Structure 1
Amino acid sequence: MHLYLMGYRGSGKSSVGRMLAHQLDRPLVDTDEAIEKAAKQSISQIFATEGEAGFRDREQVAIATVAAIREPCVIALGGGAILRPANRQAIRQSGHVVWLQGSPEYLFARIQGDATTAARRPNLSPGGGYSEVVEILAVREPLYRQLAEKTIATDPKTPDEIAAEIAAWVNSKL
């Protein structure tokens, strides 16, 4: 079965995913990177040309494709991957799910400190910023909570600490 990492942008899914893939000797699939590669555009460009609905359509295809891979993978999901019921079903049926849960303050600080986030990912609300993190988390947290088999509180842990905690959990399930 796959190991899915979910959480808001800035929660560490990609960084932790790389470490976990190495520790567990599994391939890593980052769905945002897969979407960008297939589209030959950044997520911001996809949003600009196709809107959020177009991006979510591409995301649904990417998740269905990854879920069908037979070899167990570590999969770093985009922050909004859980918004569509079809995605939640594909994820639930094909793997174990870990929620990297961060406080709005922590997530906002991480986003502000990551230059690639601003370049690759669009604001999801008119004002962006801290208020966007709070607003979007209010919508997504119930879905993260519903889908998660394991929740890791990431404040103020390092990616190494988070990866080690998840690896121990995965190994206890084997």
Structure 2
Amino acid sequence: MNLEETRKQIDELDQVLVETFEKRLAAVLNIAKIKEAENIKIYDPERETKVLEKGLAYVNDPSLRDYVKHFLNDVMAVSRSYQKDHIQQHIFLVGMPGAGKTTVGKALAQRQDMDFYDVDALIQEKTGKSIQNVIIYEGEEAFRELEYEVISDIVTNKKPSVVATGGGTVLSEKTVKLMRDSGFVVFIHRDVTRILDDLDMEIRPLLKESIEYIFRLYEERYPLYEKVCHVKIQNASSIGDAVNEIIDALPNVER
């Protein structure tokens, strides 16, 4: 077989791959509609593990196993993304304390006819302690685990909702993965000087050490917020403008 004949064979195989993948996406869309109707979570790692195991069982040449594994993981990632674009999903708001996550989140939930949850408030309700006391007496690692548990409960047991997270939620890789796999992550960005202005109005006088801490926190976390989010929006003018910007950025869910 010469070069041109081999290329023709690859073209024919690519056609089969594309046609088959289109059929897979059609099936994925049907699943998305069922999940939405029955309030089933989008991301199901156990199901994906089974799909991967079944796919690898079809491999005839052991030397190709790793390549097939990589291929199947990419197929599932694209399928999951396609499914998320066709189903109403959780909206997770991340950003600095004082950025307006709760205020914007409540307004967004009302506009979208969705429930609203504040992760910090749920943790306080669950533990009977303030966030500060949880961190002081149980440690930050335990607090991050509580954040993960609360968000996991929302993902597993609640219908698609707007969720305001804590300022440091993005520090946990497994929580970030959970949010990105099961919803749409929005970075609510607000200039740090405006955050400080609001704090200064609440806490007079704002200590120099506090100002330096907030600036340092902003510099450390800003790259993380940008990295984990699907979209960044500015909370610079009105709450209505911020809500409109988020709605415009949401996947165009078919109804």
The alpha-carbon deviation at position 172 of structure 1 amounts to 4.3
Query: Contact 1:107–1:133 (CA<8 Å) still a contact in 2?
Result: no
Partner deviation per Cα, 1:30-85 (whole Å, 9 max, x = no partner): 10111010011111221232232232221121122222235110010111101011
For 1:163, give the aligned amino acid.
V
1:168 aligned residue = 248
2:115 aligned residue = 27
1:69 pairs with one of 137, 157, 165: 157
Higher helix residue share: 2
2:173 aligned residue = 85
Aligned-partner Cα distance in 2 for 1:51–1:151: 30
1:118 aligned residue = none
1:145 pairs with one of 207, 215, 226: 226
- 1:3 corresponds to 2:3: no
Aligned-partner Cα distance in 2 for 1:173–1:109: 38
2:182 pairs with one of 89, 94, 97: 94
Q: Secondary structure at the match of 1:57?
A: helix
1:133 aligned residue = 214
- Change in 2 beyond 3 A, CA 1:114/1:57: farther
- 1:109 corresponds to 2:197: yes
Report 1 or 2 for greater relative contact order, CA contacts < 8 Å, sequence distance ≥ 6.
Answer: 1
- Change in 2 beyond 3 A, CA 1:165/1:66: same
Q: Which runs of 4+ in 1 moved over 4 A?
A: 171-174
Aligned-partner Cα distance in 2 for 1:171–1:20: 15
Query: Contact 1:6–1:98 (CA<8 Å) still a contact in 2?
Result: yes
For 1:9, give the aligned amino acid.
P
Aligned-partner Cα distance in 1 for 2:128–2:163: 20
Aligned-partner Cα distance in 1 for 2:110–2:140: 32
Identity of aligned residues (%): 26
Q: Secondary structure at the match of 2:186?
A: strand
- Change in 2 beyond 3 A, CA 1:72/1:49: same
2:100 aligned residue = 12
Aligned-partner Cα distance in 2 for 1:36–1:171: 32
Provide the aligned length of Structure 1 versus Structure 2. Answer: 163
1:122 aligned residue = none
1:41 aligned residue = 129
Structure 1 residue runs without a partner (length 5+): 116-126
Query: Contact 1:6–1:99 (CA<8 Å) still a contact in 2?
Result: yes
For 2:249, give the aligned amino acid.
W
Normalised by the length of structure 2, the TM-score is 0.59
For 1:168, give the aligned amino acid.
D
1:124 aligned residue = none
User: Over aligned residue pairs, what C-alpha RMSD do you find?
Assistant: 2.1
Structure 2 residue runs without a partner (length 5+): 1-88
